[in-house]
Amino acid sequence: MRRLVLIFLPILLIGCPQQDAKESPDGEVCEFEKLSITDKADHFLFTCLMADGSFETVEKIADVPAEARDQVIVIDTRLSPKKRRSSKIIYVADLTQKREDETYSCRPVSRFKFERDLLREPGNSSNVLPPECRNLVDSPKDRVIVYSTVWCGVCKATTEFLKKAGIPYEEKDVEKTAGAQHELACKALKTGKRINGVPVLDIAGTLLLGFDRDDILKLSKNLEKTKSQDQKQP
C-alpha cells in the first residue's frame, strides 16, 4: 500500500511545451530546447534510477538497463548549463519505445519537484491492484481524459491543442474534480506508470505523461468515433 500513498502526493507541473514560449504559473516566460534522441546520437548522457535507489550514468541508450528505461534523465552535452536551464529544468526521456521517426519521447520537468517527489521511490509496476482500485472504470474509447490542474499552463496548452486537432476530450482537475486523483493513481498502478506531474492524458487506456503533440496524434487514432463525430465528417 505504500506505493499507492506515494502516488497520491500532490501532482506536479511538467514545464512548458518543447520549443514553445509560454508563461509559467509564476509569470516567468520559459522556452525549452527540443532534444532529438536516437540510438545513434553520441552527444547525450543518460542517468537512470536503479531498483536499489542508486543512479547509473551511461553514454549509450543500449547501456541503459531495460527495467530503468521508462524515466531517464538526459543531458545534451552540446548545450551549456545556461542553455538547458540546468538549475531549474531537467529533461526526462522514455526510452521504452521509439516513435515513427526513430526518436524517443523527451520532456522538460521541474528539477526541484522531480528530485523531491518522483525519486522518493523507484516504483515497480505490479499486476495486482489494491482493493481501492479494483472497481476502476475502464478508460473511454471515444475521447481523451486529460488530468490537469487550474494553475497548469501546459495543461491549458494541451486542451487547446486537442480542440484545434478536433480530438474529443474530457478534462478532470486532480485538485477539484471528485475522485480524479484517486482514479489517476489507480490507472498509474494498473499501467505501471510513475506519475510525476500534469497533464496526464488517458488515451484509450494508454497513459501519456506531459504534452507531446506527436504522441497525442498517434494514440488518438485508436479512439472510436461516435455517431455525432461521423456526421461531422465531410
Average pLDDT over residues 5-20: 34
Q: Which has more confidence, 164 or 122?
A: 164
Based on the domain organization, do 58 and 98 belong to the same domain? yes
Helices 213-220 and 153-165: angle between axes, nearest 10 degrees: 40
132-174 tens-digit pLDDT: 677 888 899 999 999 999 988 899 999 999 999 999 999 999 8
Is 130's pLDDT higher than 60?
Answer: yes
Average pLDDT over residues 111-120: 55
Is 116's pLDDT higher than 80?
Answer: no
Is residue 89 in some structural domain?
yes
Based on the domain organization, do 24 and 116 belong to the same domain? yes
Which domain range does residue 203 map to? 131-227
Q: Which of 92, 120, 148 delimits the end of a domain?
A: 120
Q: Environment class of residue 55 by beta-carbon count within 10 Å: exposed (0-12), middle (13-18) or buried (19+)?
A: exposed
Based on the domain organization, do 109 and 137 belong to the same domain? no
Q: Which of 120, 140, 174 delimits the end of a domain?
A: 120
Is 29's pLDDT higher than 70?
Answer: no
Based on the domain organization, do 28 and 103 belong to the same domain? yes
Based on the domain organization, do 142 and 63 belong to the same domain? no
Based on the domain organization, do 29 and 97 belong to the same domain? yes
Based on the domain organization, do 147 and 205 belong to the same domain? yes
Average pLDDT over residues 69-77: 89
Q: Which has more confidence, 33 or 101?
A: 101
